[in-house]
Structure 1
Amino acid sequence: MQLDRRTLLVAGAAAGAMPAQALALNAPGPGLPAGGKGASFPPSSPASALPDVSEVIDLWPGGVAPGLLRPLTEEIPDRMKPGEPHDRYMTGQSRPRMAVFRPRQPNGAAVLITPGGGYVRVVVDKEGYELARWLTERGFTAFVLFYRLPGGDEHGWDWASGADTPLCDAQRAMRLIRYHASAFGIEPNRVAAMGFSAGGHVCADLAARFGAQVYAPIDDVDRHSARPICAAPCYPVISMHLPVGHSQSRKQLLGPNTSQTFEDAHTPSQNLPADPPPHFLLHAEDDRTVNPLNTLMLRDALKAKGVRVETHLFEKGGHGFGLRGTVGLPVAIWPQLWLNWAHTIGLL
């Protein structure tokens, strides 16, 4: 069986029942064509690979996520313009998975990255791979999570877990990282979460509801805690209440038939536990997509709980800047600010 050199797959959830040293497996799975054009994979295919990744870990045994209600077709288009870097995103994923980036010299810490995309897609490069590479250059083991999209519309959700679907995957991902910590060369208690935009909602929801039972435990992986040591929701969607909430994310997550109670239940700032992890918050005040009030309402709720919070508001940056959108702006300093902060809360 021929495999692309960049397409080593790791059947991680299947390996959930295996010892850590047996984690890496070769498996078939096409990558993207060399030209960066989109590729689609049927839900019945093996866990499809992503370009520039040596390891991909399925979250669920056999790659089969629980509760699929209607067929999905995975696609990975590229919005790249001539002379610019890749700008890929994923839609229609029925096999949630993590792309693993290992550093040459591990520092023992890991970061779970949840990219944005308005719960319509999951960004690959701008808020995923680019951040992962930045982190590995500094010794972190990085995991980019391609979580399932809830798919809320007038017909309901794509998944039986409904609005909790992304959180199911985030919890499972944290537990898998800890279960296989020795194989990754990391310490189980030094796993952070970082997310952007709608992925910032996934990150904040995980930091708020890490202990909520949103899926039935299936193996020894689920004995581990899903609580991150710290969380960094960046320009995050927080509120599910209009007009502050991001309307597209709200619709895709909650579906059309919502209520005040349902909106409350999926607004992380209203669901903080007794022991939320420390938070690093980041937003640009000229963000016209996600209102900066989302970040401020989370900050206020965390402060009211006595949680350590580092908050950075920048005058300019817009929305979705990640790393590439910060060039020439003061907001370009944000990754170093996060790194400095990470030293103070025990991640490093």
Structure 2
Amino acid sequence: MFLLGLEATSELSWREQRWGRHFLEAEQSFVAVYEPYCKNWAKNIRIQDSRPANGPSPVSKPIARMQEKMRTWDAQLINFKSELPAFIVKPVSRVCKYPLLIDSLLKETSPETYPYYDELSNGLASMKRVVDKINAAERQVENIQLAASLCDRVIDWKGLNPATFGALLLDDIHAVSKDDKRRECYVFLFEEIVLFCVSAPGFPPVTQQFGNPHWRPWQTPLALKSHIFVADIMQTQSPETLPNTSSYPFELWCTGKENSRVQLWTIHMRYTSHREQWETEIKPFILKCAERRAHERSLRRTRRVPVVSTEQAEHSGFDSDDSESADTPTAESSQVSKLPSI
């Protein structure tokens, strides 16, 4: 119906063409169709990409048999490894381009020259919502798979239990600094904890992996260098940056047990959008933990008995690593007397 509607609209005169209406009417249908499609696509692409060259297939036997048959059809139909993924993702790419197409129409019109300008603008908003939901669905699948793979990739959890981390929200490679130490890390934001990891001993550092076409960051064995419990994060801050900067710092101010010292961790993002994502994802969990602490204090005052704190383990800086030195020398950090205003 959507395609038929577009074709019928194209036959009308310009002032009668209501392009925005079709996108508004199709919003729920697009979400119902493409959200599960993207979930399955993201899941299958990661499974296929992680399959060993000569090892057993991680998929079911019927699917594995179909894969083998399709490989024999490469010359006649499509290359299974290089062309099939691009072919499967085409419908998703088309939907994600709709906002760009509608926006180009809006730029060529105005409320004075086009009677359905507002409707077209609303159509643009509806397609942006569709794309956001599709991207969120794809990220959800990828995060579930990535979180599961970490259980095997991290060589030593140092007493931490991955089952208590909650859902994985964000991950990327960032420069991280604390106490005048700075290094590139794999950073994982879970609902309950932030992990800072580096490549395991015997594997190239992350800075040497960029540009390697065979690098699979989700398969690299990792060493856990440090962590922050979300319950210990008191507040976050995004300092102002100079124009044309290449780094966007995101500060985490945390409670510290050592000499009651407040600890400052800075994650240096490559894009301002990354920093905004962190703000959006982590703020609700910080507020939730603050409310839980307030509730515990209220119970303690009411019952006048000690309440076992749910706060976990004291933080430390990066562990020493003889094989990989920090970018800057260590310096004694001064005690922070108060937090900066947000």
TM over 0.5: no
Q: Which has the higher helix share?
A: 2
Q: Greater Rg, structure 1 or structure 2?
A: 2
Per the normalisation by structure 2, the TM-score is: 0.22
Per the normalisation by structure 1, the TM-score is: 0.22
